[in-house]
Amino acid sequence: MAQIIWDGLFVGSFYALIALGYSMVYGIIKLLNFAHGDLYMVGAFIGYTILTSLGGWATSMGLFALIIVMMLSMVLTGSIGVLVERLAYRPLRGAPRLAVLITAVGASFALEYGVAAIASPNPRGFPIRLDGDIMMVLGARVTFPQIILMVIAGLLMFGLDRYIRKTSTGRAMRSISLDMKGSLLMGVNVNAVISRTFFIGSALAGAAGVMAGAYYGKIDFLMGFIIGLKAFTAAVIGGIGNVRGAMLGGLVLGLVEAFGSELVGGQWRDAFAFGVLILFLTLRPTGILGERVTERV
């Protein structure tokens, strides 16, 4: 039991980091950014490129080099997220939602096959592989890299929560999510806040990509597809548009997958996860922490 819970929380922390980007963007401009999972993949490839360019020095530094590279990847992935918003989404902000949704799917394919064209479609081995001795903690087999990655994910999520709740930019984000036109009339620079939202969400996805590459040891240009869908599932479970809900939804989905794999077998893992999504959309479409709102027309 303890092992199942630990495995679920570990995987769920990755889902939560990526789900935050989905939830933040949807909460502000009501956009389902299906290119977001591919930014996770882009972050992993950026980390790979930086590490290979540094050569043996980076691999010898191990975890320290990985943290530095992760921070650089966050900045670059965040910038790519801002560029996607500026080129693909901002011109369509007043367009029907279906047009924007189709554009998001197109942006997703552009990122996937753009990376495949630049870096080749073959899987790559990540230059740094985090592994360590197994420790027994409360009956669960735990490794030191798992603990470190969980701590990093937790600090990033805690920092984002404080940023949104305690800073002027965070207040502007919450204001726009409630009333964009009213915020604009009150002097809020809506475009700048939306760009910053895309930057933060994309940066968190990039951090998750680097951590996943270092832990699993392999990256490829399609790695963001399934985990992107699962992160969206986590955002829906927690209450899409709610930052704390995205964090909770990621952990819940990780636990659901872990227990589902134990009950029905690992080959049913993905089917079990998306079955839970259907169940939530049927029984509680607003998610665990989401609130039912009435749109003004």
How does pLDDT run across 134-169, given as a tens digit for each residue?
777 777 788 877 888 888 888 999 999 899 888 888
Q: What is the pTM (predicted TM-score) of this model?
A: 0.88
pLDDT band for position 295 (cuts 50, 70, 90):
very low
Which residue, among 196, 49, 27, has the nearest Cα to 126 in the 3D structure?
A: 49
Q: What is the mean pLDDT of the chain?
A: 85
Which residue, among 246, 221, 224, has the nearest Cα to 234 in the 3D structure?
A: 246
> Count of CB atoms within 10 A of residue 16's CB?
30
pLDDT band for position 74 (cuts 50, 70, 90):
very high
Question: Is the predicted pLDDT of residue 16 greater than 80, yes or no?
Answer: yes
Question: Is the predicted pLDDT of residue 252 greater than 50, yes or no?
Answer: yes
Q: What is the mean pLDDT of residues 60-76?
A: 84
How does pLDDT run across 46-58, given as a tens digit for each residue?
999 888 887 776 6
Q: What is the mean pLDDT of residues 70-82?
A: 93
Question: Is the predicted pLDDT of residue 76 greater than 70, yes or no?
Answer: yes
Cα of 286 vs its chain's centroid, Å: 20
pLDDT band for position 65 (cuts 50, 70, 90):
confident
- The angle at the Cα of 90, spanning 85 to 95, to the nearest 5 degrees, equals 130
Q: What is the mean pLDDT of residues 184-206?
A: 89
What domains, with CATH codes, occur in the chain?
2-283 (1.10.3470)
Alpha helices (H) along the chain: 2-29, 36-54, 56-61, 63-84, 97-119, 144-166, 168-178, 180-185, 190-216, 223-238, 243-264, 269-283
Q: What is the pLDDT of residue 72?
A: 92
Q: What is the pLDDT of residue 79?
A: 94
Question: Is the predicted pLDDT of residue 73 greater than 70, yes or no?
Answer: yes
Q: What is the mean pLDDT of residues 180-189?
A: 84
Q: Which two tokens stand for residue 270?
A: 């993905």
